[in-house]
A and B are shown apart, each in its own frame.
Chain A
Amino acid sequence: MSIHKGRGFATINYPIGMNLGGDPSQALVHSNPDGKFGVALSSIDLGQGMKQVTRQIAAETLGVPVEDVYVDTADSDTGPHCMGSFASRGTHRVGNAVIQAAKEARSVMLEAAAEELEVNAADLETDGKGNIFVRGAPSRSISTGEACGAAQFKQGKTVSGRGIFLIPLSDVDPETGEMTPVSCYAHAALVVDIEVDDETGEVDVKQMNSAYEVGRALNPRMVEQQLVGGAWMGMSHALWETTEPYYPERTHGPADFNQYLMPGPGDIAPHDIAILERPAPDGPYGGKGPGEMCANPVLPAVANAVFNAVGVRIDELPITPEKVLRGIKANGGARPQGQR
């Protein structure tokens, strides 16, 4: 019995969202009488950080402190339509819709301020701390709260905005079948180091090193956290999880968490991540979406590492000890491919 070291590599180009049906998402923004803003979405935050990121985007666009914005998500009765939280589309699609809605609300807020200050709205700026002032004359100012209050109680204006993201449908070229399914790509590369036990077929992940290009990291800590958690999911898909271990035969499928295997806290590997920022021209403040690509490169990288370690090419997930062992036996023993 011996332990074989292996290294695998994978790179991905990951599409953000999809262009089927225009991939729409909408947002509504309005000010309360006290000048705090609400953003209504039906987009769902499952913990990825959509609420936080759309809050930052709305505050940045409105020109108000982030504390002055409240995001109400996941209620399709009160929020405008969203396609959903999938395909890594949340930040990019919903973020763009929020920018459009916040721009419209901001212009009403500035018009209201202009009327109160008796100046031209085009000469007004926000300081991001809750004040609107005349460019070049900072003493001529009004708070965002006062401007929103004046709009709603003196001037008869709703400080509100509507936003939608919709990509033009891409026609399919009848000759070549060519189309543009996606408008924005993120990129990643991942190297994984593993050890394979040729007696048990077990694969032990020792180290992951990755680089992710995610446009602008709108909230760097949340991006990093999503990448750490997503890589765990990738490891889990690569080596543990399945509902149909002998598909298409339905036998031995897990019935509960006792049998549905996932790596526990003792099975995780150190993971060094480099986040590269190359702002996307069509992204909200340059942001793309980490989303699913956090997990994706881990799977092919682990499969490549197993081949590198013992010369067994496995093309069905998960890469269980049984499959590794059968592969080693079929080859008449482990065939390490050597490190390059």
Chain B
Amino acid sequence: MSKKPVQFTLNGESKAVFVDDGQNLLDVLRRGVGDLSPKYGCGQGTCGACTVLIDGEAHLSCLTLAETVEGRSLSSTGGLAQGAELHPLQDAFMRHFAAQCGFCTSGMLMAAKSLLDRNPNPSRDDVVEAISGNICRCTGYEPIIEAILDAAQNGAGRRSA
């Protein structure tokens, strides 16, 4: 198996890694560059826990071939907070008790960020649609939906970071 060099930016930092043929992006992020914020849930694109943004668009990193992100700009939950200051979405998730075990939270945050970045004033249906690819086992979704709507009201979507 040959290795391919791949360069991309992750949360604003340049990364250069060698990837195997067919290696998925989630594996490269977690094991290759050490960003553990995207989670490995099902490994087949059903649970959404591995969601990251590629050029601002939500993607399932477990189903994305790592070599396809050459030259692209990636964001993960690991880059949301600015130092000690939480991203408005993270803050809203905390205030609305939108995490219990926390395993889906990373994917939920990225799905929500992708929504708010393109639609700063979403309806409840827009929010439901945006997180419909993400499974949560604990919260019953309601606190997550409320957190995202609240973050939108507080201008999370108009923030550039």
Residues of chain A touching chain B, judged by Cβ–Cβ distance below 8 Å, are 46-48, 221-222, 224-226, 228-233, 256-258, 262, 264-266, 268, 271
Known contacts being A47-B102, A262-B135, A271-B142, is A225 close to B97, with CB within 8 Å?
A: yes
Pair A47/B142 contact, Cβ less than 8 Å:
no
Contacts A264-B141, A266-B128: A257 and B42 contacting too (C-beta < 8 A)? Answer: yes
B110 to chain A, nearest CB (A): 15
A232 lies within 8 A of B97 (CB): no
Q: Is the CB of B140 within 8 A of A231?
A: yes
B30 CB to closest chain A CB (Å) equals 20
The answer to whether A265 touches B102 (Cβ under 8 A) is no
Cα–Cα, bound, A222→B143 (Å): 11
Say yes or no: A222 contacts B144, CB within 8 Å: no
**Contact status B145-A257, CB under 8 Å:** no
**Complex: A268 Cα to B142 Cα, angstroms:** 8
User: Is A46's CB under 8 angstroms from B132's CB?
Assistant: no
| Separation of A46 and B102 alpha carbons in the complex (Å) | 9
With a cutoff of 8 Å between Cβ atoms, the chain A residues found around residue B132 in the complex are 264-266
Distance, CA A266 to CA B132, complexed state (A)? 7
A-B contact pairs, 16 of them (CB 8 A): A46-B100, A47-B138, A228-B140, A229-B139, A229-B143, A231-B140, A232-B141, A232-B142, A257-B42, A258-B44, A264-B141, A265-B128, A265-B144, A266-B132, A268-B141, A271-B142
CB distance from B51 to the nearest CB of A (A): 14
Q: Quick check: is B101 within 8 A (CB to CB) of the other chain?
A: yes
Q: What chain B residues lie within 8 Å of A256 (beta carbons)?
A: 42, 44, 46
Question: Does A257 lie within 8 Å of B135, measured CB to CB?
Answer: yes
Q: Are A228 and B101 in contact (CB under 8 A)?
A: no
- The contact of B140 among A47, A222, A268, by CB within 8 Å, is A268
Q: Which of B44, B101, B138, B141 is within 8 Å of A265, CB to CB?
A: B141
Give Cα distance in the complex from A271 to B142, angstroms.
9
In-complex Cβ contact of A221 among B97, B102, B138 (8 A): B97
Q: How long is the Cα–Cα vector from A228 to B140 in the complex, in angstroms? A: 6
Pick the contact of B99 from A47, A48, A230, A271 — CB < 8 Å? A47
B101 to chain A, nearest CB (A): 3
Q: How far is the CB of A198 from chain B (nearest CB, A)?
A: 27
User: Nearest residue in B to A268 (C-beta to C-beta)?
Assistant: B141
Task: Indicate whether B116 reaches chain A with its CB closer than 8 angstroms.
Answer: no
Min C-beta distance of B148 to chain A, whole Å: 10
In the bound assembly, the distance between CA atoms of A141 and B46 in angstroms comes to: 59
B156 within 8 A of A: no
Whether the pair A257, B46 counts as a contact (CB closer than 8 A) is yes
